[in-house]
Amino acid sequence: MKVGILGGGQLARMMAQAGIPLGCEFVFLDPKADACAGQLGELVVAEWEDASALDRLSACDRITCDFENVPATVLERLADAGHPVRPAANAFAAAQDRLTEKRLFESLDIEVAPFAPVSGRTDLLDALDRIGYPALLKTRRMGYDGKGQYLLRTPEDLEPAWAELGDHELILEGWVDFDFECAITVVRNAEGEMRCYPLSRTVHADGMLRLAAAPANVDAGLRERAEACGRLLAEHLDYVGCLTLELFVAGDRILGNEFAPRVHNSAHWTIEGAVCSQFENHIRAVCDLPLGATALRAPALMFNWIGAMPSTDALLNVPDLHWHDYGKQSRPGRKVGHATLLAETWPALVPVALELKEDLPQPLDRLLDKLVSI
């Protein structure tokens, strides 16, 4: 089966690595000539709306995405022409607009922080009167990995925030004083069968995921509510593939932050830590193959490498540390790889992880203390 993927980054690369043993071939469409997935299939270098490029992609048996900001209109065009696009364009349309996303969560009774649309300065001042400080001013579109947002702590932040973001349609969100963050990944097939991966506990810095641990050390009731939210969202969207819902936990409350209609960084640990990885299960769902088991193989801790790959000398000597270099050029703020540490139990994993601190790039050394102390 030939699978077309809009996007040729590391997520497409790992989908291909999982799908090739299933007998799949891959075609990637990406605007960048150095897209790292191109090593594993045909790479079509073109903009998303390029008609001739989409014609080449439409020859595939199934079409999916590795990037949530592929224009939903492009996916609708492919689907209207009779090509099986999974997940469908409606999921991307919802995830691409933060206001639409928050309203969707509210309609499903998934609690969210207070929010308000902002189309001008008057809207912003009115919203701040209702929501108060601190608050996050965000672009409604193209915001990922911490892009397109400004933290408003006091009125003195208004002018620099407006200078940076005022040319966009915006949303103001109340600040959530959360205890920790977590993420639930759901896989659903076209027949409606759903499975959940163990809840991941996540740690971010500067808006980017840095660490993810599974299983999250939370009580059963919270885990069940997180799974219920993920299942509800996937069912409502008639979703096919893997979907991740990111959540804040504040006391006994869980609040929806955002969702990704694709495989997700917080579940990279599933490659070694689960029976069937999120990447394989996404391809299985998209291609109408039986879903794989989502059960935990072993407790896992994933380190995200941002900007540049760290030195491998010390880290590769660690037993059960699994290394992933995406083959991307180093660049500040760029996701270039990850590593996943496994152990038989979480108490056995923690001291091994802490021994790595001196070899970890900043701020992972500091964030690791935060994660293991929870």
Sequence ranges of the binding site for ATP: 98, 138, 143-149, 173-176, 181, 204, 257-258
What is the three-state SS of 7-26? CCCHHHHHHHHHHHHHCCEE
DSSP per position, 103-161: HHHHHTT-----EEEESSHHHHHHHHHHH-SSEEEEESSS--TT-SEEEE-SGGGHHHH
Binding-site residues: 98, 138, 143-149, 173-176, 181, 204, 257-258
- Look at strands 25-30 and 42-45 and give their pairing: parallel
What is the C-alpha to C-alpha distance for residues 12 and 3, in angstroms, rounded to an integer?
11
Residue of 86, 311, 95, 276 lying closest to 196 (CA atoms): 276
148: left (phi over 0), alpha (psi -120 to 50) or beta: left
What is the C-alpha to C-alpha distance for residues 367 and 303, in angstroms, rounded to an integer?
10
Walk across the sheet containing 62-65 and list its strands.
42-45, 25-30, 2-6, 62-65
